[in-house]
């Protein structure tokens, strides 16, 4: 089954990680309610590997920050667009967007990806 994935790489202050986890858990429930196939938030654990590019550097993480790598999966790009349109109208998400931000959204890396291998 071909899928479409929105991917995120976010530097987050370590002291705000518990708050981010609560926020993302609530957001994930909204995305799943509106049709997302998967919603995954992962915090960096093994990020310093010799010979390869660093997620820490790619995310621009500073001292006292960690990196979150996340993805949301959909059936297709059209399905993603439909789900996201519903999500953005959901009052729970609208409320989350007005709260004090846990991370700097201008430093978040985001992109949509068309799956070329899905086993």
Measured in degrees and rounded to the nearest 5, phi and psi for residue 104 equal -85, 105
Mean pLDDT of 74-102: 93
How is the beta sheet containing 4-13 ordered, strand by strand? Answer: 38-43, 65-74, 4-13, 109-114
Give the model's pLDDT for residue 1: 62
CATH of domain 4-114: 3.30.70.100
- 99 or 5, higher pLDDT: 5
Where is pLDDT greater, at 1 or 72? 72
Split at pLDDT 50, 70, 90, the class of 76 is very high
- pLDDT at position 77, please? 97
Cβ contact 9:60 at 8 Å: no
Confidence grade of residue 68 (pLDDT, cut at 50, 70, 90): very high
């Amino acid at each position: 089954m071909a899928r479409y994935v929105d991917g995120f790489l976010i530097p987050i202050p370590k002291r705000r990680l518990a708050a981010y986890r609560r926020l993302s858990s609530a957001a994930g429930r909204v995305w799943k309610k509106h049709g997302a196939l998967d919603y995954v938030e992962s915090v960096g654990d093994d990020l310093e590997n010799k010979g390869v590019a660093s997620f820490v550097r790619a995310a621009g993480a500073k001292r006292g920050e960690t990196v979150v790598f996340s993805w949301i999966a959909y059936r297709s790009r059209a399905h993603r667009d439909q789900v996201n349109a519903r999500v953005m109208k959901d009052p729970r998400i609208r409320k989350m967007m007005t709260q004090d931000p846990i991370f700097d959204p201008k430093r978040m890396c985001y992109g949509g990806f068309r799956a070329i291998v899905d086993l």
